[in-house]
Structure 1
């Protein structure tokens, strides 16, 4: 446990010095939120009730799926994992600390979106705050786990980026965060049902905002947890 906390502190310090991490975890998601949030709230008023949730899903998915795998592969390629092992820090502690660091960064971004969306874009506050936070935590854990899995299986950074894009882009287009998923053809809806972002959107709508849906919100939440 001591090794984990030591490595987590080291990882957080490294993140603050890494411009690519700050770009993927903070600048791009919050920039996208500022631009797209204003467009969505003006063009599609129906998205206002769940605007904070949709932007949180985008930010978390991008940070975990796009940001984590290259960082993990970079550690492995640079020989840092072997250096940690030689210093008495096991690889699993490094892996968990990397995931915990991403969890912290993405939680901060999600809470910024949650707190600012009502005042900036007229988004509605969730009817059930605890339901929102539980769904948010499940999405964070699941997305970070998927990001670590991609990073652990990719042999190099180009492969990691390719695998990340193969997950991120469908999550963006098929999950219902950009437009209602029921507008998609049946095949694409079926493909979207394997994505954590899809089930997270369903869980947010039902558990946090109390919106009537054709899918069971508790089941969607359990699916997100199961995928993670």
Structure 2
């Protein structure tokens, strides 16, 4: 357990030194948040109620889909994987280390948004537990999907393309940019397969509802089963 925690701390520090990962975990989401929040408040009345969930969904989806697969590809698509096998280190430890490290980064980025938006943009600070449960479940579900990309795709550029296939529809269809009521029914139906849709719904709700929780939990469990199955098979 001590070795695992040490590896998580090391991976977290290595991510901070990787410019590409640092960019998608922190720089782009926070710059977008600072630049666009004021614009949204001007053109969309009542946006102060949803700025925080909107930017958390945007930043978490970007970090998970475009940032977290890279360290896994660096292990499973290179000779580093052989080093794990020779050293008798279970490959699932690399999955756990990257998952926890990415979760910490994305959660920190989200907390920066949560606690600065009321100061900078007079946004409504979430005071109910529903928001935090929704945020945590959403990050878990997103990382479960992105970890599959990191384990099964051998090239970072291809993983980024797959990540974009989740990230861009989430931005446009989950309700964070365009209200779901303004979208054609076919798009709202498609959006229901995106974690961002349910995460945003849960984070903007005043009470816990089972449908989004169930979806996010099922996605998380299914994704992790696939990921652990892959690592155990590789061993």
TM-score above 0.5, yes or no: yes
Does the Cα contact within 8 Å between 2:170 and 2:194 map onto a contact in 1? yes
SS at 2:205 equivalent: helix
CA distance in 2, matches of 1:39, 1:15: 31
Does the Cα contact within 8 Å between 1:175 and 1:192 map onto a contact in 2? yes
CA RMSD of aligned residues (A): 1.6
- CA deviation vs aligned residue, 1:99-158 (integer Å, no higher than 9, x gap): 100000001000010001111111112241x11111111111111111101111213222
CA distance in 1, matches of 2:127, 2:95: 36
Change (3 A) 1:218 1:83: same
- CA deviation vs aligned residue, 1:67-96 (integer Å, no higher than 9, x gap): 112332122233222223333321101111
1:49 corresponds in structure 2 to 49
Structure 2: 5+ residue stretches without partners: 221-235
CA distance in 2, matches of 1:89, 1:101: 18
- CA deviation vs aligned residue, 1:198-226 (integer Å, no higher than 9, x gap): 0111111213xx6xxxxx83321221222
Aligned counterparts, 1:1-228, within 5 A: 1-128=1-128, 130-207=129-206, 217-228=209-220
- Structure 1-normalised TM-score? 0.91
Segment of structure 1 superposing worse, 3-12 or 64-73 = 3-12
Does the Cα contact within 8 Å between 1:202 and 1:217 map onto a contact in 2? no
Moved over 4 A (4+): none
Structure 1: 5+ residue stretches without partners: 211-215
CA distance in 2, matches of 1:30, 1:17: 18
CA distance in 2, matches of 1:195, 1:58: 13
- Structure 2-normalised TM-score? 0.88
CA distance in 2, matches of 1:221, 1:193: 13
Report the number of matched residues: 220
CA distance in 2, matches of 1:2, 1:87: 17
Does the Cα contact within 8 Å between 2:201 and 2:212 map onto a contact in 1? yes
